[in-house]
Amino acid sequence: MSGLRIEPAAFDQPRERLAAVGTIGHAQQGARVHLWGTGFDLNRGPSGALSPYAVPPETELVVHAVRGRQTATGLRALGLDVPEVFGDPVWFLPRIFPFPDLEKRFELGVIVHISELDEATAAATVKAQLTRYAIPPELADDITIINTYTDATMEGFERKVREIAACRRILSTSLHGLVIAETYNIPCAWFSTGRGEAAALPFDGPQPIDHRMIDFYGGADRETVLSYLQPLMEPTDWADAIGFIDRNWKGLTYTGEALFKAFPLRKAVKFKDSVWTCPTEILESNRY
């Protein structure tokens, strides 16, 4: 968006920086940190230990936007000034990778968590004991399991986004699997490991919901998370899952315009433009 080269910085590096995508806000310390679409785990400190979040010493948080209302409420309770601007910067991916002529190759893409893989590589498969991911041979051409590990390059990242966008529907254990699906207007649902009826689960209901899902969807003015519940050790009725998504998914009305306006650097692109271009030399110079 800025047209500038990215210079990575550690969470505790003593230099001014921008923190954006991910549940990373609570881990930032030791400098002035600009928050733009950032999420927090308000039950953890910078070390990752379980404890109520407090702003670390020698740390200044400058809030331009946060991922959602849950993060905003928590930071305001600590006395921070948090504007009513919400969203995840991943929302802008279709402007970077528009895929205008992409063929839909799969009826359903299932995005798994990295902890569910048999190894930490891009070639890894799901652990054999996780029965819910078993796909019968007759559905092998229609349903794909998506491993989110990829090559640490712009090309690798684009290939992974393309793999997701090539699906007609998405079930995801991952927040960003859902964000990518929503922004590409792909019908989707959270693939919960809970037991019960698939439904649009209310944030404050009896069924536990990942706080990251609540944060993002709350920031998009939803009060529920569309969820397909399936225990890990029980086989999935894939036709039922597909039918559930088809009957219940409704696209978000969220546009991301306020998030765009809140970007704290000079903008090299315009919100009204459907495609954003960046010089190849800038993209290739970034370290991923």
Which residues lie closer than 8 Å to 255 by C-beta, 6 or more apart? none
For 93-248, CATH gives 3.40.50
- Which tokens go with 238? 């894939």
Q: b/e per residue, 199-231, with b = 16+ CB within 10 A?
A: bbbebeeeeebebbbbbbbbbbebebbbbbbbe
Rounded to two decimals, what is the model's pTM?
0.94
Domain spans of the chain? 17-87+257-285, 93-248
Residue 280 has a pLDDT of 79
CA distance 71 to 192: 22
pLDDT at 228: 98
Residue 226 amino acid letter:
L
Q: Would you write out the chain's pLDDT as a tens digit for each of its 288 residues?
A: 998 888 899 999 999 999 999 999 999 999 999 999 999 999 999 988 899 999 999 999 999 999 999 999 999 999 999 999 999 999 999 999 999 999 999 999 999 998 899 999 989 999 999 999 999 999 999 999 999 999 888 889 999 999 999 999 999 999 999 999 999 999 999 999 999 999 999 999 999 999 999 999 999 999 999 999 999 999 999 999 999 999 999 999 999 999 999 999 999 999 999 999 888 788 777 776
pLDDT for 281: 80
* Phi and psi at residue 285, to the nearest 5°: -85, -15
The alpha carbon of 180 is separated from its chain's Cα centroid by a whole number of angstroms, namely: 7
Residue 123 · residue 131 · CB < 8 Å:
no
Specify the pLDDT at position 269.
96
* The pair of three-digit structure tokens given for residue 182, joined into one six-digit string: 């929503």
- Give the residue among 174, 192, 202, 212 at the shortest CA–CA distance from 42: 212
Please report the pLDDT score of residue 286 as a whole number.
75
DSSP assignment letter at 84 = S
